[in-house]
Amino acid sequence: MPSSITSTGGDTPRSSPVVAGMLWACLTIAIFSGWFVVTRFSVTRELSLWDVTALRYGIGAIILAPALFRTNKPLPAAQWREGFLYAVLWGAPFVLLVALGLKLTSAAQAASAVPTLMPVCAGMMAWLFLKERPSRIRGLGYLAIVAGLTCMLLFGTTASSAPSAKGVIALLSASAMWSGYTLLFRRSRLTAIQSAALICFWSAVIFVPLYVLFGLSRLALASWQEIALQAFYQGILMSGVAIFSFNRSVTILGPSAATSLVALVPVAALLLGIPVLGEIPSVAECAAMGAVVIGVFLAARPAKPFRAPRPHGTP
């Protein structure tokens, strides 16, 4: 494991692990922001949300299988059960909710609701269940984030109408599930790659057979270029790289700071949505994004570097 995480000596500067956590979070933001745009591009055309989910976890399960099965020491049954819970919170159900929200709203609004509410939900859950009361500055950050998101959803418009209530509910539910996963993973003995592999494995085992059995595929209607794009982005970048990088940021920074940084996703997604999807943000949407950015910088301050429990078998 990187020395910035495992070192306990006084020679390692405190800023070193924080910088590493920030870099992992930035990689996550870059991939997630593109994901909202890439996913909406397909679910509003030939492919369905079922196709996107099958490509994400089917390919991800295959690529990450060595992390589960090619080890000298098999994972304990308890960790397989833990991985199943993670798959429920941040696996196929999460993606289906986000894809539904994307279909009913816009890339900018979906990218605002899901990652933006994450730090707020995670902070409130940590306060209620872990007795970790947020600082005054972080609390102000949460208020700014909520205010910005509220303006985004109230004044933002899609290409043809106001945001769908069903779409907003789907996105908010997905955000709460993601926050729950973040808090649980903080205390997990699974490594970042093992967690990503288990999420893909259980999602594929449960979803792909249903996808085939009920004939949900629309892959035959899409071009091979679109399928290749989704296979690469969903199956490799999202299921492998993004989950791993997000897990590393949570391990280093803790859930509150890591989720606060991920709240910057809407800013990147909003900018990407202009050239790719032709979704021009209104003045109110831009102002709302400004409030979100301010809230993120107030909330994304880890109180102290966090060290997660060592995985089983780690010397």
Q: Which two tokens stand for residue 43?
A: 């679910």
| Residue 83, domain member (yes or no) | yes
- What is the 8-class DSSP label of residue 282? P
Q: What is the mean pLDDT of residues 128-143?
A: 86
Query: Taking a C-beta distance cutoff of 8 angstroms, is the pair 18, 228 a contact?
Result: no
**pLDDT single digits (tens) 272-311:** 777 776 777 777 778 887 888 888 778 776 555 444 455 5
Q: What is the pLDDT of residues 200-221, one digit of tens each?
A: 999 999 999 999 999 999 999 9
CA distance 43 to 1: 39
SS3 category, 33: helix
Of the ranges 11-15, 47-51, 220-224, which one carries the lowest mean pLDDT score?
Answer: 11-15
- Residue 195: pLDDT above 50? yes
> What six digits make up the tokens of 203?
């999602």
Instruction: State the chain's mean pLDDT as an integer.
Output: 81
Rounded mean pLDDT, 54-78: 89
- Residue 137: phi and psi, rounded to 5, are -65, -45
In-domain check, residue 186: yes
Query: In this predicted structure, what is the pLDDT of residue 162?
Result: 63
pTM, to two decimals: 0.78
* Closest among 120, 109, 90 to 40, alpha carbons compared: 109
Q: What is the pLDDT of residues 230-263, one digit of tens each?
A: 999 999 999 989 999 999 998 888 877 788 788 7
SS3 call for 60: helix
Do residues 263 and 84 touch, judged by C-beta distance below 8 A? no
Q: Does 313 reside within a domain?
A: no
Residue 12 has pLDDT above 60, yes or no: no
Confidence of residue 151 (pLDDT cuts 50, 70, 90): confident
Angle at 97 between CA 91 and CA 102, to 5 degrees: 120
pLDDT of residue 246: 93
Tell me which amino acid residue 102 is. L
Residue 252: both structure tokens together: 């280093």
pLDDT of residue 272: 72
* Confidence grade of residue 11 (pLDDT, cut at 50, 70, 90): very low
Instruction: Name the residue range of residue 145's domain.
Output: 17-300
pLDDT in tens, 73-90: 788 999 999 999 999 999
Look up tokens 């429990």; give the residue.
309
Domain presence at residue 272: yes
DSSP code for 223: -
Q: How many Cα atoms sit within 13 Å of 306 on the Cβ side? A: 23
Structural domain count of the chain:
1
The reported pLDDT for the residue numbered 314 is 44
Separation CA 308–CA 28 (nearest Å):
19
CA distance 263 to 144: 12
Which position has the token pair 């903080």? 186
Between 256 and 11, residue with greater pLDDT: 256
Which amino acid is residue 288, in one-letter code?
A
* pLDDT tens profile 104-132: 877 667 767 788 788 888 888 888 887 88
Q: What is the pLDDT of residue 159?
A: 43
> Is position 139 within any domain?
yes
- Place 158 in a pLDDT band, splitting at 50, 70 and 90: very low
Buried b / exposed e across 128-162, counting CB within 10 Å, b at 16+?
eeeebebeeebeebbebbbebbebbbeebbbeeee
Query: Does 312 fall in a domain?
Result: no
Residue 75 in domain: yes
Measured between alpha carbons, how far is 272 from 78 in angstroms, rounded to an integer? 41
Q: Is it the case that residue 26 has pLDDT exceeding 80?
A: yes
Burial of 63 (0-12, 13-18, 19+ CB in 10 A): middle
Q: Nearest CA to 37 among 230, 219, 173?
A: 230
Whether 310 is in a domain gets the answer: no
